Structure 1
Amino acid sequence: MNEASALTALTALAQAQRLRTFKALVVAGPEGLTPGTLAQQLESSPSALSFHLKELARSGLVDIEQRGRNLIYRANFGQMNGLLAYLTEHCCQGAGCTVDDTSVACC
């Protein structure tokens, strides 16, 4: 990940509704969620949620799949882990860190 991609992802997450939406998609895992289900869970209007999902998708943090008449949104764990790796690549005074699906191990 480069600086521009990191800034785009961080900007997308720097808004409360988008952060809540992304966290809900992380909890949903690979199954993902439809916009209707997300709107219900987050008690948000579908039109407002649509705007936020578009920004998350533009940042690469969310993937979209067309399934029949429905759209399925999923957290892009690869992009999320890439952002975490970018943010921690020089931690521990330059010592290598290990980033996996559940944790970041430094020092």
Structure 2
Amino acid sequence: MDDAQALAAFAALAQEHRLRLVRALVRAGPDGLASGTLAEAVGVSAATVSHHLKELSRAGLVGSRRDGRSIIYRAAYPALADLIAFLMRDCCQGRAEICTPAAETLAACLCPSGETTHA
């Protein structure tokens, strides 16, 4: 991810409803959610959620697929991972003690049951 892509992603997320939409989609997992369900979850109209999803899609943070008459939206996990990596790249000039809390928080999200991963 380059600076321009990161700026586009941050600009898209710098709005309350869009941030809430992305968080709802991340919680929903890879199956995603229909736009109507997202509108209810965020507390906005269908037209408003459509506008916000279009902006998030332009920034590459969400994707969509048609399922019959519905459009299902899902988080673009690779783009979100790239955004996190962009922020953490060259973290703390090699001082692991500064980056460790962020890494531990991310690991807890990835392995909420306390299990560990091995490379």
- Which bin holds the TM-score, normalised by the shorter protein? 0.7 to 0.9
CA RMSD of aligned residues (A): 2.2
| Letter of the structure 2 residue corresponding to residue 42 of structure 1 | V
User: What is the CA-CA distance between 1:57 and the residue it aligns to?
Assistant: 0.5
- Any stretches of 5+ residues in structure 2 without a counterpart? 108-119
- Give the deviation of 1:94 after TM superposition: 4.2
In 2, the alpha carbon distance for the partners of 1:95 and 1:29 equals 33
Q: Which has the larger radius of gyration?
A: 2
Could you tell me how far apart the structure 1 residues matched to 2:6 and 2:63 are?
17
Separation of aligned partners in 1, 2:34 and 2:2: 30
Aligned residue for 1:30, secondary structure, equals coil
Report the equivalent of 1:103: 106
Q: Which residue of 1 aligns with 2:93?
A: 93
TM-score, L = length of structure 1: 0.87
Give structure 1 stretches of 5+ with no counterpart: none
Identity, in percent, stands at: 49
Deviations 1:12-57 (A, max 9, x none): 0000010011100011011100110111112211111110000000
* More helix, by proportion: 2
Q: Give the TM-score normalised by the residue count of structure 2.
A: 0.78
Cα deviation for residue 62 of structure 1 reads 0.2
Aligned residues: 103
* Residue of structure 1 equivalent to 2:62: 62
> What residue number does 2:15 align with?
15
What is the DSSP-based 3-state SS (H/G/I as helix, E as strand, rest coil) of the residue aligned with 2:90?
Answer: coil
Give, in whole Å, the separation in 1 of the partners of 2:7 and 2:62.
15
